[in-house]
Amino acid sequence: MAYSDFVRQLGDLRLPFTERGSNRVEVPYVVPIGRFRGTPITLGFEVPGDFPNSPPGGPHMKPRLLPLNPGAAGHPGRVAESPFGPDWEYWSRPYEGWAESDHSVRSYMAHVRRLFATQ
């Protein structure tokens, strides 16, 4: 139910998406804010089995926007290869406020927006 709830909520938000299998989904996105504003990208999410209790980890994206830095000591410096493919990167940016949120895709997408505001 977790994955199906996530994609249902994407649909409720009228966000187009492509299912990738293995609880992965991708969403076309135009960065709305920050230094990458206006850049069309694709976001990828690995939906955890206990969603909505836990959010997806940091987003996956293509094209790569930041240099890879998998050895960074922590967030928000860590940028790594992504299992979505060679043109993708993974931003290690967990949603620290998830416990206080309404546990929705809308809330998670607001978190993603905030990530771009601070990059």
- Cα distance between residue 89 and residue 36, in whole Å: 15
Give the phi and the psi of residue 41 in degrees, each rounded to 5.
Answer: -135, 180
pLDDT in tens, 50-69: 999 999 988 999 999 999 88
96-111 core/surface letters (b: 16 or more CB in 10 A; e: else): eebeeeebbbebbbeb
What are the backbone angles phi and psi of residue 69, rounded to the nearest 5°?
A: -150, 60
- The first and second tokens of residue 51, run together, are 């969603």
pLDDT tens track for 5-62: 999 999 999 999 999 999 999 999 999 999 999 999 999 999 999 999 999 988 999 9
90 DSSP β-pair partners: 60, 80
Would you say the pTM of this structure is higher than 0.85? yes
Tokens in use for 19? 């299912």
Please give the structure tokens belonging to residue 62. 């293509």
What residue ranges define each of the domains in the chain, with the CATH number in brackets?
Answer: 2-117 (3.10.110.10)
